[in-house]
Structure 1
């Protein structure tokens, strides 16, 4: 396990400099923040979030409580060697980060899957992408003041996969990187960002009708953009107790990115 983490760190360090310039040039890292503003100013997108907020907050409280009970003291003991007198504070922040990551993995797979789907599709409709959304679900005509989410009909296909054991193990495997001050956390965020970015466009790829090979070719061609999108989204979702809200605003940001792609390639 330690060799695997070491290899991952070395590989990430080698590719970081090559990708960093593309990340900055793409500007895609701004979309999660655009998503926050867009979500806050479009009340018609709030429904899916409100309907799941209570259960997800309860999950977050349960996970955080368990993590502090079982992992705080051991991690504080380890961080005493790296953080010195600040070990107690550093360990607390680490446990909060780990709890947020675990909560996000569980909630995405079991609690908010349908809500995120509606949020993504609703945002596309709000950005005049009805024909694209119609490839994956029925879209009701605009009448009687119906906008965005209210116009979403029956889903024809679902892109969001259920929780994969390997995805959970991979995320948990790399969590110890956070024990390395600064550098370890940066590498951890970069690795997760590369994973999260393309995943945020899973629905978009499905609506486009792309197969796995086409998706891989597109992501490879725009690696910097998706890495930037993923890093910014992942950092926001690491914020303790606010991760559920940022999960939805990140979904809005990803949909805004998809809408802009469609307009640019039309």
Structure 2
């Protein structure tokens, strides 16, 4: 059992290092770091795409508030006591950042598996429909003939999301000790968690980028 966990940790570390190196090289060449800005601008300029996520906003905020409140109540003081040894007076700040990240991670794992699956998929596929990429969307779900980009989405044939994996848990636990490095460690931990792979929508993204007729 112990050797299995060690192997998983080594595999996760190699995967993260390789992915980070590849992403940095690709970002420098393709200027893909601009995509999030373009994506936000496109999303804000197309109100029809807001529908799936808007319907989940209250449940998501309720879930996050519950997780954050529980983490603050049960774990803030114990973690503060530990962080005080390595971060001194800054422990108040770094512990708060750590708990925010932990709460965000827990909320993300729960919501991705149960709450936001359909909303994220509808938003992604709705964007493709809005970009007249109906042939791509039709590979994974039924399409209606009328309506806006969201109303045209029918029953999903393929579900790109997977449940919580062992690798995700191992990766999270493996990087927790970074928080014992004063200040920088907490920042590094948050950044590493932020770039953790989420393969669900990447499956759709591969289909999008493989079609040279689409440009943003």
Bucket of the pairwise TM-score, normalised by the shorter protein: 0.7 to 0.9
CA distance, structure 2, for counterparts of residue 66 and residue 123 of structure 1: 36
Is the aligned partner of 1:28 residue 2:32? yes
Q: Tell me which of 111, 133, 152 is aligned to 1:107.
A: 111
Give 1:104 deviation, angstroms: 0.9
Contact between 2:141 and 2:154, CA under 8 Å: does it hold in 1? Answer: yes
Match in the other structure for 1:159? 160
Structure 1, unaligned stretches of length 5 or more?
A: 209-257
Q: Deviations over 1:173-218 (max 9, x none)?
A: 433424433245336624652523x44312345xx5xxxxxxxxxx
**TM-score, normalised with respect to structure 1:** 0.67
**TM-score, normalised with respect to structure 2:** 0.80
Contact between 2:49 and 2:126, CA under 8 Å: does it hold in 1? Answer: yes
CA distance, structure 2, for counterparts of residue 85 and residue 131 of structure 1: 57
CA distance, structure 2, for counterparts of residue 108 and residue 127 of structure 1: 25
CA distance, structure 2, for counterparts of residue 137 and residue 12 of structure 1: 32
Q: Tell me which of 94, 102, 119 is aligned to 1:90.
A: 94
1:1-266 aligned at under 5 Å gives the runs 20-142=24-146, 146-180=147-181, 181-183=183-185, 185-186=187-188, 189-190=191-192, 193=195, 195-196=197-198, 198-205=199-206, 208=207, 258=208, 261-263=210-212
CA distance, structure 1, for counterparts of residue 92 and residue 8 of structure 2: 25
Q: Cα gap change, 1:129/1:195 in structure 2, threshold over 3 Å: closer, same or farther?
A: same
Give 1:57 deviation, angstroms: 0.8
Q: Cα gap change, 1:103/1:179 in structure 2, threshold over 3 Å: closer, same or farther?
A: farther
Aligned residue for 2:155, secondary structure, equals strand
Contact between 1:72 and 1:92, CA under 8 Å: does it hold in 2? Answer: yes
CA distance, structure 2, for counterparts of residue 46 and residue 163 of structure 1: 26
Instruction: Identify the range of structure 1 (104-113 vs 78-87) with the bigger mean alpha-carbon deviation.
Output: 78-87
Instruction: Identify the range of structure 1 (80-89 vs 92-101) with the bigger mean alpha-carbon deviation.
Output: 80-89
Contact between 1:124 and 1:133, CA under 8 Å: does it hold in 2? Answer: yes
Aligned residue for 2:142, secondary structure, equals strand
